[in-house]
Structure 1
Amino acid sequence: MTEMFLYNWQIREEWLDWCETLSPEELEKKRVGGMGSILHNLYHVVYCEQYWINHLRGTPVLGNDMKNITTLQEVKAFSALIQPQTRQFLQSYPLEGANQVLEHQRKDGSIKLLPYEKVLRHITAHEIHHIGQLSVWSREMGLKPVSSDLIYRELD
């Protein structure tokens, strides 16, 4: 499981670097699909990683006011804050999380029992999904997307 988080973090960093070449207007431009903009797509994947990991850890979830995110630097800083927390959780997970179940309250008030393993798989699949949207948008802009090839990547 850790390998998929390492993969996502590596791809995320490459997308964040890729975004350095874009204007703030291009980063915030309204687009079809995803979270509506490149900037908000990137913020959303970091927020959701933090949301689920903090639920698994039993710690408070940080706010999600995406409207207040207006710069790439804010997304980079948030990612830099969250990644070590997730890494720490993953390093302790086999000892603490095996066979554990999260009781998650849904928006409608109902409780859903979610195995930790399923939540971790969801986090990685969710980011891959939204990163795919970035690839589509980059091609629509006539730009080469970040390669998402897992086979030839060195993950550490």
Structure 2
Amino acid sequence: MIKLFQYNWMVREEWFQRFKQVSTEELLRKRIGGAGSILYTLFHILDVEYSWIRGIQGKQEIIVQFEDYETLQQIKELSDCWLTEVQAFLHTWSNDFEHETVTVPWTEGDFIKGEILRHLIAHEIHHMGQLSVWAREIGLQPVSANVIGRGLPS
């Protein structure tokens, strides 16, 4: 499963690089579908990943406001900061955790840890597809979604 997280992080980094050439105004422009804007979608991806990873670990939720991260550089820095913690946790993952349940403060019910990880992978891929549509709308070539040829670490 970690390979797919690594794939998502690689693609995420490429999106940060691709969107450097776009004005903040354009990145904040409200769009049809998805999470509403390019910047907010990137922020949302990070927030969901980090919140669920902390939830799996039984750690307190850290609430951040998008209004505090309204530039691409700020969101990239947040991604880099949180990525270190997420990677460290995933490297401790064991199949023994797969069917353990967890509760989180932002919604009711019990959730299965392995299912949460698979959701996080699919969630980011889903939003990357939306970013691809929006990139085309503003005249950018989308980041490749291809897993093949990326040289993902073993």
The verdict on a shared fold, with TM-score over 0.5 as the criterion, is: yes
Report the counterpart of residue 66 of structure 2 in structure 1.
Answer: 66
Report the counterpart of residue 3 of structure 1 in structure 2.
Answer: 3
Q: Could you tell me how far 1:152 is from its partner in structure 2? A: 1.9
Q: What are structure 2's unaligned runs of at least 5 residues?
A: none
Aligned residues: CA RMSD: 1.5
Is the CA contact (8 Å cut-off) linking 1:98 and 1:116 kept in structure 2? yes
TM-score for both structures, normalised by structure 2: 0.92
Q: Could you tell me how far 1:151 is from its partner in structure 2? A: 1.7
Q: Could you tell me how far 1:45 is from its partner in structure 2? A: 0.3
Report the counterpart of residue 141 of structure 1 in structure 2.
Answer: 138
Of all paired residues, the percent bearing the same amino acid is 39
Report the counterpart of residue 80 of structure 1 in structure 2.
Answer: 80
Q: How does 1:11-30 map to 2 (within 5 A)?
A: 11-30=11-30
Q: Does 1:126 align with 2:123?
A: yes
Give secondary structure in 1 for the equivalent of 2:41: helix
Report the counterpart of residue 90 of structure 2 in structure 1.
Answer: 90
Q: Which amino acid aligns with 2:52?
A: W
Q: Which amino acid aligns with 2:17?
A: D
Cα distance in structure 2, aligned partners of 1:14 and 1:68: 23
Q: Could you tell me how far 1:99 is from its partner in structure 2? A: 2.7
Cα distance in structure 1, aligned partners of 2:51 and 2:105: 13
Count of aligned positions: 153
Q: What are structure 1's unaligned runs of at least 5 residues?
A: none
